[in-house]
Structure 1
Amino acid sequence: MTVDLAGYRNVPDALADRARLRPQHPALIVSPDGGPDGEEVYTHAELHARVERSARRLAARLEPGSRVVLALPSGVGFVESYFGCLTAGMVAVPVPPPGGSATARARIEQIVRDCEPALVLTEEGDVQGLAETVARAGLEDCAVESPAVAQAAAEERAALPEAGRDTLGVLQYSSGSTGEPKGVMVSQGNVLTNAELFCRANGADQDDVFGGWIPLHHDMGLFAMLSSAVLAGATVVLMSPTSFVKRPATWLRLIERHRISVSAAPSFAFDLCVRLVPKEQADAVDLSSLHCVINGSEPVHVPTLRAFTEHFAAAGFAPEAMTPGYGLAEATVYVSTKPPRQRPALLITGAGQEAAGCGLPIGFELRIVDPVTRRACAPGETGEIWVRGDSVGQGYWNRPGTSEEIFRATLADSADAARWLRTGDLGSVREGELVITGRLKEVMVIRGRNVFPQDVEHEARAAHPLLAGFNGAAFAVQAPEERVVLVHEISPVASPEEFPALVAAVRKHLTGVLGSPLRDVVLLRRGAVRRTTSGKIQRGTMRSLFLEGGLAPVYADLSREVRGLLPA
């Protein structure tokens, strides 16, 4: 059955309809560690009842439009609080659960300082720590509570406001991979539209089972998995991201046990499964239920795509299920995925690199634009991806100037005064497929040639086995011309005696690939390369740490010019 959400005024109306039409159908299954023990199952009727109770308790305490920070793990507490906010006319602000992480607390402090919430919901064990974080942000009137305490603190009889499609529903903060996080204003209409488009583009409907480990504070988890599934009247199965990272096979067993048909993950997750799930385990799991597993959130690595498809072929994983996709928080999440039940198109970019096609957008207009002249590129040329449509967010919270520049751009060579979203991503349309090249802010120009950091990082791992499976970050510095610096984690089994030969091999390989010498390489311990919560490399952060002397190299081979940029 086709998912049709166009006729709903708001998200609460769609939720109520699902509870009416499919009351006993499972809406949410929570499997914290990915295993069968302790799983919780909630039908659409049960989930709707919990959401409405949460909404009335929020409405009894807070004014419509109040921001509510959700610092909660993937579970029923997050789900009922998220939909409860939308039902009560509040604005949900998903953030990573702190869990003792200094990085997560720092991110939360940035976000609460920016959005000034009236309430922060977190697990009981994190209340005291987050209360201190909120106090540092200067928000004396902001309560920090667990969902259970928040629900006990208010009556359930409060009236609920009537939200419209333009009512602000979510502040979805960007990952921070290229700078400090900005809050994308996502309306209730954006949520409804994007859920419908995601389902249409990927051949999903109410009979599907969505699910996986993507955290719910990430747009792929919140909108592509949770919101799309529940609003379609389908089932979503949630597990802990930490459980996946510790034991990647738990994701695969979750798919088998619940016959999950729609899932999603960044490219690094597929690589992790190939490396850490032995062939005998891979052959024993059943992945035949999958008809769509989105490979997105970061550039799709074609060798990883191939390796996963081959590694799990005996498990019943169909090549057609692998679904390269493109999206971003500024467009809610979904922009484009390959057509359903077709094999991914593998194409050659203008730079001669192999890339996976992401289909063409459904529900968006698309232009490839020269980012400097703002003129449309010729067919096949690489430029900045611009889109417009009803899924595009309302702008950035409290950033009118940036919102005008990014969300309301105009083409220089068109009489059409329509406004476009500048995505900041580079790509082209080739053979009827959108091909993603990289981030505009991260592209490096070396001797007149565009060099993309992810290509450098992938080639470095291919150059030596002691780098395979670890993270790297490539970025440019001015010394005095633009030069590429590569910082990369190294296997803990490597001995210091091996470092010079290893770096020499990497430099030789990368110089051949780039067509110009790469001189500057820094080796780091495992885990030293910063990433966002979705696994994106924080290249800007790594560049800053490098130039500030904030890294702790185990070995560095730097040119005199680049070394001169560093603190004495």
Structure 2
Amino acid sequence: MIIDYLRNHVEQMPEKDAFIFLDEFNIEIERISYENLYSSVKSLAFLLQKYNITDAKALLIYEDARDFIICFLACQYLGITAVPLNYSRKSAHLKAILKDSNTDTIFTTEGTKLKLENIFSDQFAFNRNIIISTDSLEDNIVISDIPCALINDIALIQYTSGSTSIPKGVIITHDALIQNQISIADTFGCNRESIIFSWLPFYHDMGLIGNILHAIFIGCTCVAIAPSSFIRKPSNWLKAISKYRATHSGAPNFAYDLCVDYITKEEKADLNLESWKVAYNGAEDVRSETLERFVRYFSRCGFSKSAFTPCYGLAENTLLVSGKKKSKYPSIITASRSSAGSYTIKQKGLTRKYVSSGLVVSGVHVRLISGGGILL
């Protein structure tokens, strides 16, 4: 389980940086070593024991990555199923998830607690929910036996975005989580010397499993900023990669377009992207035009086109389904637009370029099903 990997890193390299957190101006606000991270996780786990969470499930609603990471790992330590949520979700979505998840407990911070109490005021009328501020618990630790989670127990429940329907929960076991981590490592080639940089939301699969938990699984360092820091100023992403010599970092396709559109020539002049070996691109359609624009604009900064790593994933498979092996430029084919969604590739008519999302990872089986449910 992921907590076992954290424990091993503490034994082997306690002083190594696990996470480096930056503010909205890319200025360091904290470094936390593997030893200090594990200590914080254990302390919170012991404090949470007294609440006797009978259903062993809790919603995690945080605005800050550091507090979220410690609480998530404390849940793994205690065998509590974590249900990570985006605080900025619509109130209706939060209420729907609270009801669907059938949990009585919410973990958050003191600063967010009052806001959540207002959102869930009607649910609290029944006095069945508990909102616990994990950053303001009294430090009166009484060590007792910690329940041991089993490999097939549920590690977390990921909820879909709810952009087109009511959010749906996806159950992920400890075993599924670790197996997908193995697939990510095999595909992207991350090791202990790697440095991951992330601006992706820490509460959902691509940022949580692909960056935060993968760093802990591997034992490398993850540098992180808030998503708003990138959206406000796209250069923050590439400046941090340049400064911290990040080797692995990625985002949906739109982020690469934003970099070309909004990073000035003056900002570009100070960038050194030679360290960036894996620039994964997923979560939406990967466009060949985007890859070509980005390479043209940033190649003189040391960015190599072979770093581009298109991939495909979904919450229902924990995260990664397929990905391009590193050190090769993505495969691109030109085909008729009518080929989209078709089993056969057509060359005639109006064409467009399609970027391959790589090979299906080991242990995953993919089936092509028509809209009518027929196996192709």
TM over 0.5: yes
Residue 297 (structure 2) pairs with residue 311 (structure 1): yes
Deviation at 1:123, TM superposition (A): 3.4
Show CA shifts across 1:73-131 (max 9, x none): 34221111011101101011111124xxxx44333222112113332223333211201
Q: Distance in 1 between matches of 2:270 and 2:300?
A: 8
Equivalent position of 1:124 in the other structure? 110
Residue 98 (structure 2) pairs with residue 107 (structure 1): no
Deviation at 1:145, TM superposition (A): 3.4
Q: Distance in 1 between matches of 2:307 and 2:46?
A: 41
Give secondary structure in 2 for the equivalent of 1:284: coil
Equivalent position of 2:60 in the other structure? 70
1:274 maps to which of 250, 260, 280: 260
Q: Distance in 1 between matches of 2:149 and 2:109?
A: 28
Deviation at 1:300, TM superposition (A): 1.0
Cα pair 1:73 1:216 within 8 Å, conserved: no
Equivalent position of 2:12 in the other structure? 21
Q: Distance in 1 between matches of 2:110 and 2:55?
A: 25
Q: Distance in 2 between matches of 1:155 and 1:293?
A: 43
Equivalent position of 1:323 in the other structure? 309
Show CA shifts across 1:289-321 (max 9, x none): 111121111111221221112111111111111
RMSD between aligned alpha carbons? 1.9
AA in 2 matched with 1:12 = I
Deviation at 1:34, TM superposition (A): 5.0
Sort the Cα spacing of 1:117 and 1:284 in 2 relative to 1 into closer, same or farther, 3 A. Answer: same
Q: Distance in 1 between matches of 2:269 and 2:355?
A: 26
Show CA shifts across 1:238-272 (max 9, x none): 11111111111111111112111111211111111
Equivalent position of 2:134 in the other structure? 147
Residue 238 (structure 2) pairs with residue 290 (structure 1): no
Equivalent position of 2:370 in the other structure? 370
Cα pair 2:332 2:353 within 8 Å, conserved: yes
AA in 1 matched with 2:360 = P
2:23 maps to which of 10, 13, 32: 32
AA in 2 matched with 1:97 = Y
Show CA shifts across 1:499-556 (max 9, x none): xxxxxxxxxxxxxxxxxxxxxxxxxxxxxxxxxxxxxxxxxxxxxxxxxxxxxxxxxx
Q: Distance in 2 between matches of 1:80 and 1:176?
A: 26
Relative to structure 2, which stretch is displaced further, 78-87 or 58-67?
58-67
1:80 maps to which of 67, 70, 78: 70
Cα pair 2:59 2:85 within 8 Å, conserved: yes
Q: Distance in 1 between matches of 2:164 and 2:353?
A: 24
Q: Distance in 2 between matches of 1:34 and 1:374?
A: 52
Equivalent position of 1:514 in the other structure? none
Deviation at 1:329, TM superposition (A): 0.6
Show CA shifts across 1:350-398 (max 9, x none): 24431111111122122223342432x2xxxxxxxxxxxxxxxxxxxxx
Residue 3 (structure 2) pairs with residue 12 (structure 1): yes
AA in 1 matched with 2:128 = D
Deviation at 1:323, TM superposition (A): 1.0
Equivalent position of 2:80 in the other structure? 90
1:421-500 paired onto structure 2 within 5 Å: none
Cα pair 2:113 2:131 within 8 Å, conserved: yes
Sort the Cα spacing of 1:63 and 1:147 in 2 relative to 1 into closer, same or farther, 3 A. Answer: closer
Q: Distance in 1 between matches of 2:373 and 2:117?
A: 48
Residue 142 (structure 2) pairs with residue 166 (structure 1): no
Q: Distance in 1 between matches of 2:140 and 2:59?
A: 18
Larger radius of gyration between Structure 1 and Structure 2: 1
Cα pair 2:18 2:34 within 8 Å, conserved: yes
Q: Distance in 2 between matches of 1:23 and 1:153?
A: 23
AA in 1 matched with 2:48 = L
Q: Distance in 2 between matches of 1:170 and 1:91?
A: 5
Q: Distance in 2 between matches of 1:140 and 1:273?
A: 48
Show CA shifts across 1:199-224 (max 9, x none): 11111111111122001112100000
Cα pair 2:53 2:105 within 8 Å, conserved: no
Larger relative contact order (Cα-Cα within 8 Å, sequence gap ≥ 6): 2
Length-normalised TM-score, structure 1: 0.61
Deviation at 1:14, TM superposition (A): 1.9
Q: Distance in 2 between matches of 1:21 and 1:28?
A: 17
Sort the Cα spacing of 1:63 and 1:122 in 2 relative to 1 into closer, same or farther, 3 A. Answer: closer
Relative to structure 2, which stretch is displaced further, 156-165 or 82-91?
156-165
1:99-248 paired onto structure 2 within 5 Å: 103-137=89-123, 140-149=127-136, 151-152=137-138, 155-248=141-234
Give secondary structure in 2 for the equivalent of 1:236: strand
Gaps of 5+ in 2: 341-350
Cα pair 1:58 1:154 within 8 Å, conserved: no
Deviation at 1:133, TM superposition (A): 1.9
Deviation at 1:23, TM superposition (A): 1.2
Q: Distance in 2 between matches of 1:270 and 1:295?
A: 9
Cα pair 2:123 2:129 within 8 Å, conserved: no
Q: Distance in 1 between matches of 2:168 and 2:285?
A: 21
AA in 1 matched with 2:85 = V
Give secondary structure in 2 for the equivalent of 1:298: coil
Query: Identity of counterpart residues, as a percentage?
Result: 27
Residue 357 (structure 2) pairs with residue 358 (structure 1): yes
Sort the Cα spacing of 1:55 and 1:231 in 2 relative to 1 into closer, same or farther, 3 A. Answer: same
Sort the Cα spacing of 1:34 and 1:214 in 2 relative to 1 into closer, same or farther, 3 A. Answer: farther
Give secondary structure in 2 for the equivalent of 1:33: coil
Q: Distance in 2 between matches of 1:13 and 1:358?
A: 31
Gaps of 5+ in 1: 1-9, 378-568
Show CA shifts across 1:28-66 (max 9, x none): 11113251242x111111111111122222233133652
Cα pair 1:301 1:355 within 8 Å, conserved: yes
Equivalent position of 2:235 in the other structure? 249
